[in-house]
Structure 1
């Protein structure tokens, strides 16, 4: 009976296709579930950071206040949650203070500015640095790390006043 054989062949072929596809329709195995829940680290190394501006120092007899404006852009398609930094601040190559800025979460494509007031004690720096600050002509360098979560990237910024 040729009709019966062809029905069996079609039925067997249908069952043969359905079994491999059943894995696509059902749940995931543990390896697939783990891959689906892992999120990549924040793209800290892709943040664009620069010194936007440095205000003229407010120089006193024993210290100076220096306002530095940082500009940070997240050019990626992923957010960077609450980055923070730790920078050694140098004037004309001499370390004068440590700055620790923190930021709100950067959404994809966001640019923000952060104002930092640095208090530089003349007793902690040399006479040449104090004179450069009073004159208002110096090179400011910030060298350190920016981090978000467990990810960090080294950053060096400079600005000539």
Structure 2
């Protein structure tokens, strides 16, 4: 099972790279763009919230959003409630690119998720969320165990 999940994860990364290539972005830029779109719907798209959501460093997200802004696909505006924060949103150009990608994305996703039925979708979604949370716990535990092992050496 673990090897199947690792292989699926690798394929997901490759598919993400293909989606990104269709609109002239890198894989991480595509992921950041769609995350900004998702978080902006709830008025919480900042470098920090994107970094937290994707488990990336804020420095990396800041660097990539700067590139996306230079390409004209992301807009940055000061937060009116806290001028120290910058709110991110997908620009009209970014929305157009995502709109152009959508038909290709639907075809690829239909193929990728062909085994997922309406009946097992809810379970898959719950398991994916639970596994994401337990992976965070496992990472923290592995860091602690490595630290302890290093202290013994």
Whether the TM-score (by the shorter chain) exceeds 0.5 is: no
Please classify the TM superposition score into its range, dividing by the shorter chain length.
under 0.3
Q: Which has the higher helix share?
A: 2
TM-score, normalisation: structure 2 = 0.21
Q: Which has the higher strand share?
A: 1
Structure with more contact order per residue of length (Cα contacts < 8 Å, sep ≥ 6) = 1
TM-score, normalisation: structure 1 = 0.20
